[in-house]
Amino acid sequence: MISDDPASDRIARPRSFAPSARFQRVKISVLGRYMLQDRREFPCQILEMSPGEAAVVAPIAGQVGEKVIAYLDHIGRIEGSVVEQMDGGFVMDIIASPRKRDKMAAQLTWLANKDILDLPEDRRHERVVPDNRHSTVVLDDGRRYNCKIIDISLSGAAIELAVRPAMGTPVTLGRMRAKVIRHFQDGVAVEFVSAQEMLNVVQQNLRLN
């Protein structure tokens, strides 16, 4: 049963944040459940989402302006209201604090990345070994090198690489922007861009066509 008790979400949610139009939705595939204002619950699937709004495939769309609460796999609880009806569902805006939007942007980046790089399910910042370890590193000047991913997390990766770019050098691993932060015997460690920049990474480099 989905709860609409505000106490279940300790982050304050004032209604005066900037509108969701400043965010661009990215393609994902996430299952969940949602509750309309009359407390009816239904299963749903999110096919496009940003930290400001979500396109929801749903059996019942609800009315424009109607309150919606949803629990989504990998993302958790979101709430907002129906802003547009569409064939097979609706678009909802998302009411969230700036901190929660940053977290959501990082989660969306992971969801977009895990299919591109064959990553395991989200384990936060724990480093894991991906099923497909082969990728490419591209430097800003266009030079491209094959590499092997030793391990990877939401915040960075260790890779086997034949060259040693200088510390702080911007690189692109697969389609993920990063910078070199450490050298070791067989390669380098890179750090992905900060959570505040994650949404731009999704928009510019990770969008799935």
**Closest CA relative to residue 42, chosen from 70, 11, 67:** 70
Among 1-5, 77-81, 106-110, 181-185, the least confident range: 1-5
Report residue 71 as tokens. 């629990």
pLDDT tens, 7-54? 333 333 333 333 344 567 788 888 888 999 998 889 999 989 999 999
pLDDT tens, 99-158? 888 888 888 877 776 655 554 444 444 566 766 788 999 998 999 999 998 887 767 788
* 33, 80, 81, 82 from 64: Cα distances, Å: 19, 11, 7, 5
Which one-letter amino acid corresponds to residue 186? D
CA angle (158, 204, 47) in 5-degree steps: 95
pLDDT at 75: 85
**Helices marked H in 88-157:** 98-116
Whether the Cβ atoms of residue 199 and residue 23 lie closer than 8 Å to each other = yes
The domain ranges of the chain are 6-96, 123-206
pLDDT at 117: 53
Domain 6-96 has CATH 2.40.10.220: yes
**Superfamily grouping for domain 123-206:** predicted glycosyltransferase like domains (2.40.10.220)
* DSSP state letter for 163: S
